[in-house]
């Protein structure tokens, strides 16, 4: 599966189900251009994962909403929940490892942890 262009119009629909890797990038960014082939190759090898690219120049609203300060920034969502974020290009082996971790993640445990945190915050208010 090739990478898909993510915009503010298709963002919510794209990340709501399954595993989604997002690459925040810009044309002028050297490290972004270096990371692009690694990201593209992973998208071809993992058809069960969505790989989206967000051009921070064209999608300034999305970039600002996620407080993107440096690019490339990689974000991973699973079932609508952000589970990872890191600035900087990853080598192919690190990206593969991250994909594996995202696939193995127990989302019931993640949701339970989020519920606990929200309950604790409610008690503090």
- The answer, yes or no, to whether residue 122 has pLDDT greater than 90, is no
Is position 29 annotated as part of the catalytic site?
yes
Q: Which residues contact 34 (CB under 8 A, 6 or more apart)?
A: 89
Which one of 19, 32, 71, 74 is the catalytic residue? Answer: 32
Residues 101, 23: Cα–Cα separation, whole Å:
17
Cα–Cα distances in angstroms (integers) from residue 95 to residues 28, 49, 88, 99, 120, in the given order:
23, 13, 12, 6, 33
pLDDT confidence of residue 19: 97
- Token pair 């119009």: residue: 9
Q: Which of 15, 20, 29, 54 is catalytic?
A: 29
Q: Which structural domains are found in the chain, ordered by start?
A: 4-124 (3.40.30.10)
pLDDT digits (tens, 9 = 90+) for 29-83: 999 999 999 999 999 999 999 999 999 999 999 999 999 999 999 999 999 999 9
């Amino acid at each position: 599966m090739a990478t898909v262009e993510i915009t503010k119009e298709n963002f919510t629909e794209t990340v709501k189900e399954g595993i989604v890797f997002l690459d925040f990038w810009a044309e002028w960014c050297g490290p972004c251009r270096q990371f692009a082939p690694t990201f593209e190759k992973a998208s071809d090898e993992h058809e069960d994962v969505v790989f989206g690219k967000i051009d921070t120049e064209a999608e300034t609203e999305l970039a600002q909403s996620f407080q993107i300060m440096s690019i490339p920034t990689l974000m991973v969502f699973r079932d609508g929940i952000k589970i990872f974020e890191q600035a900087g290009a990853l080598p192919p082996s690190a990206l593969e490892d991250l994909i594996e971790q995202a696939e193995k993640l127990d989302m019931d445990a993640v949701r339970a942890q989020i519920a606990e945190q929200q309950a604790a915050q409610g008690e503090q208010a």
